Structure 1
Amino acid sequence: MFVRKTTRPRTVTLGDGRILTMADLPSGQERWVARRKAVVVEAVTHGLLARDEAIERYGLTEEELDMWIETVAELGPSALKIKSIPKNRVTRGIATNNP
């Protein structure tokens, strides 16, 4: 087995004791559900995946990744669910154009 040399850690231990590895990251080919978004956020915030690498790997915009990170920091990973977005906008004071 060939192991590629890298300067970043191969595994990180999260605050709740779980271990996150590169193998745990989504491939980017599936639908973006809250659980997969949260894994990417955890990888970026704990240093397993560089921010720029995540943007390139998953085809995200900087604003999109920043929004995921801010949402998890303020409201928790469950706030990444699609059904939570309108509620989160009200919580954050963001105006919506819904009649």
Structure 2
Amino acid sequence: MYIRREKGPVFVVLPDGSKMTRSDLPPSNTQRWVARRKATVVSAVDHGLLGAEEACEMYRLSAEELELWREAVHRHGAAALRVTALQRYRQL
């Protein structure tokens, strides 16, 4: 029997003490990106569960889009990822 081994760590420990595994990530065929799913991907990249390039490839994102998500979370929190809140958090 062959078990496929994924690259990188099996899990990461988040600052709140919880563990995040690859099974916690949204499916790779996600088409509706709600703030919670975006925040999960950002958290996985920030804590080393996924590399930025791997996340972009897996979810068919551009590097710029992923970087915008990361900046929004770092500046304003996960609420800034909501589509309805873009105008409130957009920097002019």
Q: Please, what TM-score do these two structures have when normalized by structure 1?
A: 0.84
- Measured against aligned partners, the alpha-carbon deviations of 1:8-66 in whole angstroms (never above 9, x if no partner) come to 11100111112100000001324100000000000000000011010000000111000
User: In the aligned structure 2, how far is the partner of 1:18 from the partner of 1:3?
Assistant: 26
Task: Percent identity, please.
Answer: 46
Alignment of 1:43-54 (within 5 A): 43-54=44-55
Unaligned runs of 5+ in 1: 95-99
Q: Which amino acid aligns with 2:51?
A: A
- Secondary structure of 2:20's match? strand
- Aligned equivalent of 1:21: 21
Larger Rg: 1
Q: Which amino acid aligns with 1:80?
A: L
Asked if 1:39 corresponds to 2:44, the answer is no
Figure out how many residues of one structure are paired with residues of the other and give that number.
Answer: 91
User: In the aligned structure 1, how far is the partner of 2:34 from the partner of 2:67?
Assistant: 17
Query: Structure 1 residues 83 and 13, CA, compared in 2 at 3 Å: closer, same or farther?
Result: same
Unaligned runs of 5+ in 2: none
Query: Aligned Cα RMSD in Å?
Result: 1.5
